[in-house]
Structure formats: structure tokens, C-alpha cells
Amino acid sequence: MSNVSEPIQGTISALYIYPVKSCAGLKLSHTAVRSTGLAFDREWMVVDTNGHFLTQRTHPRMALIQPRLHKVDGVDGLTLSAPGMNDFTLIAPGSPDPLMVKVWRDSMSASDMGDEAAEWLSDFLGTACRLVRFDKRERRICDPEWTRNNETSTYFADGFPLLVLSAAAIAHLNCRMSEAGRATVGVSRFRPNIVVSDWPAHLEDKVPGLVAPDVALRFVKPCTRCAIPDIDPLTGLVTNRVNDILRDYRRDARMKGALTFGMNAVITRGVGETLKTGQVVYSDDPV
């Protein structure tokens, strides 16, 4: 992967988590690192009546659902907001029913968050669905073909614990967007967990990983892109298509010509530590 001879310094300029898979993200100043990714990232998920996960790919209005995290009597809480809806504060059942759910090829048991959550989401999305939370007695193993480690696991993320993106990659894309007469876009279209400034555009493609003061990550797989970058996160509408521009320069031979943007990563050191915006980081030494 590496063609960079020396570690390059960067700075964590943004941290994001997405508590409910495919809903809006939360921008944080600091967050705890878990073996499965950042704390609370993709811990909840919306599923259809068959337990299959729902995303913006088929339900773009999910982009408008804004989660907030809080604690109630020491218990982790979740509140959902959406246009035209009263805020919904989840009171999880004391003994939640198990529900078999599916994320891509992975099936697992999750905890059903009850009828009120299901009704709120179904009303907003216009389809029968339910909210589930990852059952931490389960382990969802990441694809060992990429991780080279059968012990790497995640919650409801598409495949891997973390997504890392250089800020310069967005700046370069926006130059191309402007040249094509299109409006620029924000990083939220790409749903990263960690954004690194002061790196060259797409340095994450070329180096083995990232090293922070107490945390080390290994980059394992380019992030292939679907229709979600074309969805405006502020309106839930498909506008100002980004993928049209990416096709000019982001076809990735490693992924059989698919469009890629950002790198999936696993944690190799620092579970239980904290990442903060403003932290200096370095590209990992070449392997």
C-alpha cells in the first residue's frame, strides 16, 4: 500500500459518530476508542419487518433524523429529532425482546427498542420499521480477508470499525466540483469518523495507518462509494451529484474499478483511550 518514505504529520480536525446507522452524525470534540470503533458509533440501527437494515440508499430521509446522546439516571439515552416530528426520547425496555437482524451478509441477534420507537420511525420514514440496539453479547467479526485478524469486530457499521479521510481530499473534490460548475459539498456526505488536516489529499490511500499519542490505527480497505454521497444531508434529496465527479478520478483498481473515498481502519493500539480534535497524528511508518 505504501509509497511514502517518511511519516507525515497531520492534525485531527474533526471526529464524528453516527449513533443510529445511516442517520445524521454527531460532531464531537473528543471520544473514547473501543475495539469496535468510536464509542456509540452505529450502536443502534433501523430495520424493516424482516430484520434487514435500512439505509439512505433506499430511504434518503434517514439523513434528516438527528440523534442526540445523553444520560438518564446514569443510563445511556438516545433522543431522535426530525422535521415535522416531536422529539422522541428512547426509554429502552427493561428486558428488550431479541430480534434477528441482518447487515449485508451478517446475521445476529439485536435488542428491539420497543413499539414507540418503531411507531415514530415508521411515521417519519413512511414504511414499517423498528429500532434495534446492538447486543453486546454478540460479536460481529469483520472480514478477515482485509483485516488479517479474525478477532476484529464492529457493531452495525457496514464492515469495519473506523473510516478515516484527509481534509485535503474534500478540498480537492470541491475544486473539481467548482470547475464543473457545481456547488461544493461538506465532509458529511462521506460519513467519516476521523478527518485529518495537514495531510496531502488521499494520503490515507498510500500509508499503512495512523498513529496518535495513545492510539494506533491500521488502514485495511478502501471505502467503496454507493449513492449516499449524492444525497444532500440537509434535505435528504439527491442533488448536486458527487459521484459524477468522482468517476473522473477515483476509480480504484484495488476494488475492481469501484469508486473509493477514504480508508476503513481497525484499532491496533489504544482501546479505552481518547481521541481529541487538535491532536497531532502521524502516518504510520511504511511496512
Residue at 90 is within a domain: yes
Residue at 259 is within a domain: yes
What pTM did the predictor assign?
0.95
**What local confidence, expressed as pLDDT, does residue 253 receive?**
95
Which run of H or E residues covers position 145? helix 144-147
**What local confidence, expressed as pLDDT, does residue 286 receive?**
52
Alpha carbons 79 and 85: distance in angstroms, whole number: 12
Q: Which residues pair with 167 in a beta bridge?
A: none
**What local confidence, expressed as pLDDT, does residue 247 receive?**
96
Count of the separate structural domains present in the chain: 1
Alpha carbons 3 and 202: distance in angstroms, whole number: 12
Residue at 202 is within a domain: yes
| 3-class DSSP assignment, residue 285 | coil
Alpha carbons 179 and 167: distance in angstroms, whole number: 19
- pLDDT of 222 > 70? The answer is yes
Q: CA quadruple 102, 110, 264, 60: dihedral positive or negative?
A: positive
Residue at 54 is within a domain: yes
Q: CA quadruple 162, 168, 169, 175: dihedral positive or negative?
A: positive
Residue at 245 is within a domain: yes
What is the pLDDT confidence band of residue 287, given thresholds at 50, 70 and 90? very low
Segments forming the whole domain that contains residue 80? 9-278
Q: Which residues pair with 219 in a beta bridge?
A: 265
Residue at 286 is within a domain: no
- Kindly write down the DSSP assignment for every residue of 4-30, as one continuous string: --S--EEEEEEEEE-SBTTS--EEESE
- pLDDT of 38 > 50? The answer is yes
Task: List the CATH number of the domain containing 84.
Answer: 2.40.33.20
- pLDDT of 80 > 60? The answer is yes
- pLDDT of 16 > 80? The answer is yes
Residue at 26 is within a domain: yes
Residue at 3 is within a domain: no
Half-sphere exposure of 149 toward its Cβ, with a 13 Å CA cutoff? 15
Q: Answer whether 120's CB lies under 8 Å from 39's CB.
A: no
- pLDDT of 39 > 80? The answer is yes
Q: How many helices (H) and strands (E) does the chain have?
A: 4, 21
**What local confidence, expressed as pLDDT, does residue 284 receive?**
87
Q: What angle do CA 48, 53, 54 make, to 5 degrees?
A: 75
Nearest to 190 by CA among 16, 12, 2: 16
- pLDDT of 72 > 70? The answer is no
- pLDDT of 2 > 60? The answer is no
As a whole number, the mean pLDDT across the chain is 94
Look at the block and give the residue holding cell 433522543.
79
Alpha carbons 193 and 244: distance in angstroms, whole number: 24
Averaged pLDDT, 250-256:
96
pLDDT in tens, 260-270: 999 999 999 99
What is the pLDDT confidence band of residue 73, given thresholds at 50, 70 and 90? low
